[in-house]
Structure 1
């Protein structure tokens, strides 16, 4: 199958390649619910050494700059407790962690989670964290600009491979909250 975005050799419906996905992502695809059929979530194989954005778009297509989203894990702290959440914003923006996210979490302080926390809690590889298959009960804050795209490139849970997901599917993920103003322009 031809990928709807980017220059990938092949795109495979995620339900047809569960063995290429890590356990939490494969489970999420296996038990997919929502208006967007799981078969519309596509897996594309990519080289891990080309994972950095500039090199990635050079190899897989300049159209991906505007059609990629980053999923970051955030830790909100209040008193002695910490709440973990994920944010999904276009790769051309950054998440408003210290403002909007902090307020949504009811936290006194919010910051990006450490690499060990992000990978340990999600079971995913750093640089490949995806909103598909996040831990149960986590809020997923999604910028509406992501939902507006026909297809969005996101991580697959590993540094090798990516998912191409219809934007509107992100609003249907467990714990998803669409937040206007989540993605801030890069300075």
Structure 2
């Protein structure tokens, strides 16, 4: 696994890509770093190690400015940073990046795919998302799957709000959800 961090405005993201000689690299995580945290403190590292059976391997950190386009996984991270930068600058509304959602349960994967159908500048409620995944009474389960989304921004869980029009929760912190929705021109109740 190759890891880098990227500063996007006043926020920091950790990006992790798979390195597999048998297939094309994919993003396995793009998540917010809290102020003062490093990617080492990500609660998903142990899950990723177990899931990808990284017994004798570890994560390799490469600073953003040292990534090489010659290495496929590093080139993917460069492209992810470029697309995220364009999003933050208002020049991109969708992402075209290979992601590996296999870390999630079948239900979580279903929710994450449904999240990708929510358009830029649109919000839906947790209840609506539950209906879209065929579980109309499962808004709490959907909210839980939302919270486990390993691809902040790219899989836009920030576009799901409470039925009363208020923000609800956000794993990265409500300040980040507010920032992302403001970038997309979305208003919500406070």
TM range (shorter): under 0.3
TM-score normalised to structure 1 length: 0.28
Please say which structure displays the higher CA radius of gyration: 2
- TM score, norm. by length of structure 2: 0.27
Higher strand share: 1
Higher relative contact order (CA 8 A, sep 6+): 1
